[in-house]
Amino acid sequence: MKKLYLYLEQSYINNKALLWPNLGRLNNLLIIVNISMFFLSGLVAKGYYFTFFSLICLALVAVLLLLPLPVLERLWYYLFCLALEVIALYFLVVSIVYWVRTEVG
């Protein structure tokens, strides 16, 4: 298991110049989708708050991307940010399913 982690960490070090910008672009895209779909449609004003949970996760990832921390070199930090992004994506998908089922769009 340790050998696999070392292999993944070396692969991360070789490709981090591609991974971090793509995570930032995905983060920006999800923020725009969240705001345009749920705030402009008025769904949030009706008491639906999963969108806020998604935006909180996305904002946290945005802050973690901007901080010049020495842990940016570590695989676990990237995986933590990626996990927050997946949680935000989950809340976005749940919001879309709710939006479709209640036909408020």
Q: Where are the domains of the chain?
A: 2-102
Q: Under 8 Å CB-to-CB from 83, ≥6 apart: which residues?
A: none
Instruction: For residue 80, report the phi and psi dihedrals to the nearest 5 degrees.
Output: -65, -45
pLDDT, position 43: 65
Q: How far apart are CA 50 and CA 88, in angstroms?
A: 9
Residues 103 and 44 sit within 8 Å (Cβ to Cβ): no
pLDDT tens figures, 7-27: 999 999 999 999 999 999 999
Task: Report in angstroms the alpha-carbon separations of 99 from 19, 31, 64.
Answer: 32, 17, 30
- pLDDT under 50 in the chain at which residues? none
Q: Under 8 Å CB-to-CB from 93, ≥6 apart: which residues?
A: none
pLDDT, position 44: 64
pTM: 0.86
